[in-house]
Amino acid sequence: MVKPEAVWVVAACFNEEAVIEAFIERVLQVPGVNRLVLIDDGSRDATVARIRHWMAQRQNRDGQAPVTLLELTRNFGKEAAMLAGLDHAQGQCAAAVLIDSDLQHPPELIESMVQAWRDGAEVVTAVRDDQDQESRLKVASASWFYRVFNKVVDSIQLQEGAGDFRLLDAGVLEAFTRLRESSRFSKGLLPWTGYRSIEVPYQRVTRSSGQSSWSPLQLFGYAFDGIFSFSVLPLRVWTGIGIVVSLLSLIYAKYIAIRTTVTGVEMPGYASLLVAILFLGGIQLIGIGVLGEYIGRIYVEAKDRPHYFIRAVHNS
């Protein structure tokens, strides 16, 4: 069955003034792409000005510029920006492609993804191959995260090397935009929907200019967001630790009782007492911290705030 040709590309932007015009040109040169939706996530540089300048030049030259710019009121984060673009595209296209605007995702791969979608795929996922040009530390930490996630989460399994570079069929797009949780982890939400996906390999290159807006601490927090969003195993782990510590305490108490009966009352040392107090106090604080992570997420969800606000929509 031949599917409609309305394919939209959705890309979040944050401080990408150095590459944004080249990105737009490369995306629009891909056969089958009908419209590019850019979401400015509160950029502090000239990203918005560069996009609007390009749109004006293209419209003056060709009479049209198949680009839409959603300008958010502030930096809401990449997940919220992607959701804003997908919300805008939902109902207006037959398929939407999520891609990063820093040119580390090759726009030319979209043609192969669209072909796979026409052949019947519901989701087409671009997966990084072994020739990834990122630093060894970043590649190793990403691999570690995928292994840990797949061990602690039972409901879904993540494909190692799969990121946000994906094509979504209209049905998948509708289902995905219905998931409105505050702590979004798209890499897990898409597999959770259960739609069939096929993989297309690609080589991620180093950034041509600028630097990533993701710090190591932010990446670490994002990884923990993913685990806490899909698993209650951390709570179960600390329940198990509490049981083990209690059993050890009972065994030690029995040992003290027997020793006292045999040798008489002794004055215990302060060192062992202090170590025990500090150990148990540390265990309790860590457990409270894990519990607080889940309670905090409940608190955020209960407020039900919008994921983003749009200052302006710029069309040609």
- The verdict on 164 and 59 lying in the same domain is yes
- What are the pLDDT digits (tens) for 28-39? 999 989 999 999
Contacts of residue 141, defined as CB under 8 A and 6 or more positions apart, other chains included, come to 219
Number of domains in the chain: 2
Q: Could you tell me the CATH number of the domain that includes residue 58?
A: 3.90.550.10
Q: Which residue's entry shows tokens 């107090």? A: 277
Q: How much is the pLDDT for 1?
A: 38
- 287 and 310 co-located in one domain: no
Tell me whether strands 162-169 and 123-128 are parallel, antiparallel or unpaired.
antiparallel
Each residue of 17-60: pLDDT tens digit?
999 999 999 999 999 899 999 999 999 999 999 999 999 998 87
Lowest-pLDDT range of 158-167, 187-196, 206-215: 206-215
Establish if 227 belongs to a structural domain. Answer: no
pLDDT at 75: 94
SS3 category, 124: strand
DSSP 147-195: HHHHHH-SS--PPTTEEEEEEEEHHHHHHHHT---SS--HHHHHHHH--
Query: Ranked by mean pLDDT, which of 120-134, 136-150, 167-181, 242-256 comes out on top?
Result: 167-181
Whether 94 has a pLDDT exceeding 50, the answer reads: yes
Q: Whole-prediction pTM value?
A: 0.80
Residue 299 within a domain: yes
Contacts of 17 (CB under 8 A, 6+ apart): 43, 45, 46, 47, 49, 50
Element (H, E) at 291: helix 270-303
Q: Please check whether residues 96 and 182 belong to one and the same domain.
A: yes
Q: Which residue has the tokens 């293209």?
A: 58
Question: Does any domain span residue 95?
Answer: yes
Indicate the residue type of 44: R
Domain that holds residue 28: 7-214+306-315
- Residues 163 and 78 placed together within one structural domain of the fold: yes
Same-domain status, 252 and 145: no
Give 21 or 64, the one with higher predicted confidence.
Answer: 21
Range 139-168 average pLDDT:
82
pLDDT tier for residue 3 given thresholds of 50, 70 and 90: very low
**Phi, psi torsion values for 192, nearest 5 degrees:** -65, -30
* 197-255 tens-digit pLDDT: 999 998 877 765 556 656 667 767 777 777 778 877 777 777 777 778 777 777 777 77
For residues 28 and 124, give the distance between their C-alpha atoms in angstroms, rounded to a whole number.
19
Maximum mean pLDDT: which of 111-120, 136-145, 258-267, 295-304? 111-120
Strand order across the 310-315 sheet: 197-202, 123-128, 162-169, 95-98, 7-13, 33-40, 67-72, 310-315
**Is it the case that residue 90 has pLDDT exceeding 70?**
yes
Q: Are residues 163 and 43 in the same domain?
A: yes
The C-alpha atoms of residue 140 and residue 189 are separated, in whole angstroms, by: 23
- Whole-number Å distance between alpha carbons of 88 and 34: 14
Paired residues of 126 in beta bridges: 200
Asked if residue 240 and residue 151 are part of one domain, the reply reads no
Are both 241 and 311 inside the same structural domain? no
Same domain, 109 and 77: yes
Q: With the CA atoms of 22, 27, 30 and 34 taken in that order, what torsion angle do they form, in degrees rounded to the nearest 10?
A: -140
Q: Which of 122-131, 230-239, 273-282, 304-313 shows the lowest per-residue confidence on average (mean pLDDT)?
A: 273-282
What pLDDT, on a 0 to 100 scale, did the predictor assign at position 97? 97
Confidence check: pLDDT of 270 > 60: no
pLDDT at 2 over 60: no
209 and 243 inside one domain: no
SS3 125: strand
One domain for residues 127 and 254: no
